[in-house]
Chains A and B, each alone.
Chain A
Amino acid sequence: MSEYFQMGGHGAYVWSAYGITLAVLIINVWLVRVKRRSALLRAQELATQAEVPRKQPTVRRLQ
């Protein structure tokens, strides 16, 4: 078993490469989740506020 993990002396390289890749995937999933959650919270905040009437376009006289 330990022979398997040594990977013919290259174990350190192979396992750390897989470890980094796994870490990058986990970080990405976590970052997306944080972004999504804060966007939804913000949307909830906006939804509880009274509906703001649409801004009327201002009319400007051409010079």
Chain B
Amino acid sequence: MKFRAEIDIMPLKEILDPQGKAVKLGLDNLGVKDVQDVRIGKHIQLEIEAADKAEAEQKVELACKKLLANLIMEFYEYKIFEAEMA
């Protein structure tokens, strides 16, 4: 079966995100007021072949833990969809 994983990777809350800070400045200059905070991460899509959702999940876990995210500085969240239904 084909699955699609939608993965979000974000800098840990306690870590300063200079990119987000710079973008917040840009938003202020644009005139978008009352933005309290901006944090920037990554969105990654994987298309995976797996026997079932559980196996797809295992693969996504391994990918996130070992390569896609660095758990010292980031955390990840994901959702897995059956590709046909997408």
Q: Are A and B co-members of a single complex?
A: no
